[in-house]
Structure 1
């Protein structure tokens, strides 16, 4: 089974290289263009459902795909980006900040990597059990948690408005 994953379009927080977390930022002008371009991708030919994070940046991206495909978007709270607590809104000028978080350093008021990845994995498993050929529209750290659950490296970078195909092993569930 394959799952198509789409990272939301660009926000001003992404442009400014901020730790956005669950700050509910809309797409900026470039992000709206990225969402429209993603909605025109030939990769969408095989999807049969769309499931997205309810945060506005993922919602706007998913809605562009919905208009292009005629598929309804289902929103799943388990796909929300990680809450980074006191790190939200800070510049991502420390290249090791996310590695430290994954290793167990949890900022004040933030979700731990273990708690976050458990939330995302539960949502992902629920989606692939209930949805046929889904497109998941969400965030960077959500992709890391899914990849970790699949036994893949978490350091995968996916640009705003870009797709990735996730190969799900037959014995995954």
Structure 2
């Protein structure tokens, strides 16, 4: 089977480089246009199902494809974005000024502490479990489009590819409305990456 991992379109928070996390922010006009521009390419893949995060920006993106393909969109709570706790709504300059030590730790690949920021391992466990629930009900040759978020998708994809997500940063986050493709495989780790940041 194939998992097509699609990041939502642009929001005003993306535009102004503010961390969104769990904040329930809708697409802006550019984000809607991005979804409309990418949907034909995803529709051409002939997906069998569309599953998305419950946050507005992901749901709006998924619904553009659903309307084009004639498919209902299913919401999966486990696909929600990584929580960034006290940093949500802030830009990098505000974070660096307010929490210099934790910001430095984060930029060096560590985990911010005491701020309610979900760790990479926690994200991997949660989102991977959601993807495994989706796969458990799929046919062998099924193609599922999963609409979620940059951090959630890159961390979960790294986990599916057998990487230790607390120490491996080989997949950068998807750009707005870009997607990656994972195909199931018989050999370990059970998945092959066939494309990333496409669209």
Shorter-chain TM-score category?
0.7 to 0.9
Residue 127 of structure 1, aligned match among 124, 134, 153: 134
SS at match of 2:134: helix
* Count of residues in correspondence between the two structures: 172
Q: Distance in 1 between matches of 2:76 and 2:112?
A: 27
SS at match of 2:182: strand
Question: Structure 1 residues 31 and 112, CA, compared in 2 at 3 Å: closer, same or farther?
Answer: same
Give the corresponding residue for 1:159.
Answer: 175
Q: Give CA-to-partner distance per residue, 1:86-119, whole Å, 9 cap, x none.
A: 111111356967555x633345123222222211
Give the corresponding residue for 1:30.
Answer: 30
Question: Structure 1 residues 42 and 52, CA, compared in 2 at 3 Å: closer, same or farther?
Answer: closer
Residue 143 of structure 1, aligned match among 141, 153, 165: 153
Q: Give CA-to-partner distance per residue, 1:6-48, whole Å, 9 cap, x none.
A: 1100000000001110110000010010111122225643310
Q: Distance in 1 between matches of 2:52 and 2:130?
A: 11
SS at match of 2:152: helix
Asked if residue 84 in structure 1 is aligned to residue 84 in structure 2, the reply is yes
Question: Any unmatched runs of 5+ in structure 2?
Answer: 97-102, 164-168, 192-199
Q: Give CA-to-partner distance per residue, 1:25-83, whole Å, 9 cap, x none.
A: 00001001011112222564331000000100000000000000001111001000011
What is the CA-CA distance between 1:170 and the residue it aligns to? 2.5
Asked if residue 112 in structure 1 is aligned to residue 96 in structure 2, the reply is no
Q: Would you say the 8 A contact 2:86–2:115 is kept in 1?
A: yes
SS at match of 1:40: helix
Q: What TM-score, normalized by structure 2, do the two folds share? A: 0.77
Q: Would you say the 8 A contact 1:106–1:112 is kept in 2?
A: no
Question: Any unmatched runs of 5+ in structure 1?
Answer: none
SS at match of 1:45: coil
What is the CA-CA distance between 1:133 and the residue it aligns to? 1.2
Q: Would you say the 8 A contact 1:47–1:135 is kept in 2?
A: yes
SS at match of 1:54: coil
What is the CA-CA distance between 1:3 and the residue it aligns to? 1.2
